[in-house]
């Protein structure tokens, strides 16, 4: 028995015991034909087992499998699901593939879009933006987790203005009505809010996929928002704001 075969037997033993790294290794061996006959289907099955055990590289690989027609099981929605799972764990390659596939699946033109599909794409786009904010500004990762559960958070200053916190918008919160009315009137999706002075900046995803890239945060900290004037609502308007972070709390602050 060769050393490769001995190693493979140990990997298989651990893989069957549920070890995700070993499951990923088995998939890799079947993908390249290392010590076994090359078998795409068996590779896929092992990638799936590892992916279901939250192995980010396996989730990426499974997404690639369903995203490539040469494997015979082209399924863009399945690919998007696994890219999303890997991206949630910080896999940068998966994030790029997720952005690409969301654009491929995004309805065009909007007038002919299926409403449920459009809303799902907007939620995916909001998740991408929250991950970008988490990476760039150390945004509290709980915000993305709660958004996945259909809940929106907002950043707000302390009473003395020296610090900032993150809170969950609840039914009793005075800002809920503002968010709901904005989403209904503008057909947008709000994924975070920033309170400052007498305004509430709503970070949103519009229903036009072609505009999504322009709405995202840029390297200077500018991001598109709807600035609601809390004292003079009629003066509320769309515009770019500059944001920064509050060290230690995971909250965002408006700088301009």
pLDDT tens-digit profile of 58-82? Answer: 998 898 888 876 666 788 888 888 9
Residues 6+ apart with CB under 8 A from 171: none
Task: Judge whether 196 lies within some domain.
Answer: yes
Pair 31, 76 in one domain: yes
Task: Name which of 18-22, 73-77, 241-245 the model is least confident about.
Answer: 73-77
191 in Cβ contact with 203 (< 8 Å): yes
Task: Judge whether 111 lies within some domain.
Answer: no
Task: Name which of 16-20, 24-28, 167-171, 246-250 the model is least confident about.
Answer: 246-250
Task: Judge whether 36 lies within some domain.
Answer: yes
**Of 90, 105, 120, the domain-final residue:** 105
Task: Name which of 71-85, 100-114, 168-182, 235-249 the model is least confident about.
Answer: 100-114
Pair 97, 190 in one domain: no
Task: Judge whether 18 lies within some domain.
Answer: yes
Residue ranges making up the domain that contains 227: 138-254
Task: Give me the percent of the chain exceeding a pLDDT of 90.
Answer: 21
* CATH number for position 49: 1.25.40.10
**Of 105, 122, 150, the domain-final residue:** 105
pLDDT tens-digit profile of 86-135? Answer: 888 888 778 877 877 876 776 544 444 456 778 888 888 898 889 888 88
- Please check the confidence at residue 208 and state whether its pLDDT lies above 80: yes
In the block, residue with structure tokens 């998939």: 27
- Please check the confidence at residue 30 and state whether its pLDDT lies above 70: yes
Q: What is the pLDDT of residue 113?
A: 44
Pair 188, 233 in one domain: yes
Pair 15, 97 in one domain: yes
The count of structural domains within the chain is 2
CA 222 to chain centre: 20
Task: Judge whether 112 lies within some domain.
Answer: no
Q: What average pLDDT does range 45-52 have in this prediction?
A: 92
Question: Which is it for the CA torsion 40, 43, 49, 53, positive or negative?
Answer: negative
**Of 105, 128, 159, the domain-final residue:** 105
200 in Cβ contact with 230 (< 8 Å): yes
What 3-state class would DSSP assign to 235? helix
Q: What is the pLDDT of residue 160?
A: 67
pLDDT band at 161 (very low <50, low <70, confident <90, very high): low
In the block, residue with structure tokens 């509290």: 140
């Amino acid at each position: 028995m060769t050393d490769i075969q001995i190693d493979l037997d140990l990997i298989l033993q651990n893989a069957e015991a549920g070890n995700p790294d070993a499951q990923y290794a088995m998939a890799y061996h079947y993908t390249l034909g290392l010590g076994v006959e090359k078998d795409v289907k068996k590779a896929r099955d092992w990638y799936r087992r590892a992916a279901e055990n939250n192995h980010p590289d396996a989730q990426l690989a499974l997404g690639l499998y369903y995203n490539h027609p040469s494997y015979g099981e082209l399924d863009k929605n399945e690919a998007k699901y696994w890219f999303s799972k890997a991206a949630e764990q910080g896999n940068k390659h998966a994030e790029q593939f997720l952005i690409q596939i969301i654009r491929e699946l995004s309805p065009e033109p909007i007038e002919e879009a299926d409403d449920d599909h459009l809303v799902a794409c907007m939620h995916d786009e909001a998740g991408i933006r929250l991950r970008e904010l988490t990476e760039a500004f150390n945004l509290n990762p709980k915000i993305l987790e709660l958004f996945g559960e259909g809940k929106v958070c907002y950043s707000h200053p302390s009473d003395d203005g020296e610090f900032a916190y993150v809170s969950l918008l609840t039914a009793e919160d005075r800002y809920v009505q503002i968010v709901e009315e904005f989403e209904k009137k503008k057909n947008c999706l709000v994924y975070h809010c920033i309170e400052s002075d007498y305004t509430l900046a709503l970070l949103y995803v519009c229903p036009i996929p072609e505009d999504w890239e322009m709405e995202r945060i840029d390297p200077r900290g500018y991001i598109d928002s709807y600035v609601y004037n809390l004292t003079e609502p009629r003066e509320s308007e769309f515009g770019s704001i500059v944001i920064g972070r509050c060290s230690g709390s995971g909250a965002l602050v408006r700088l301009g």
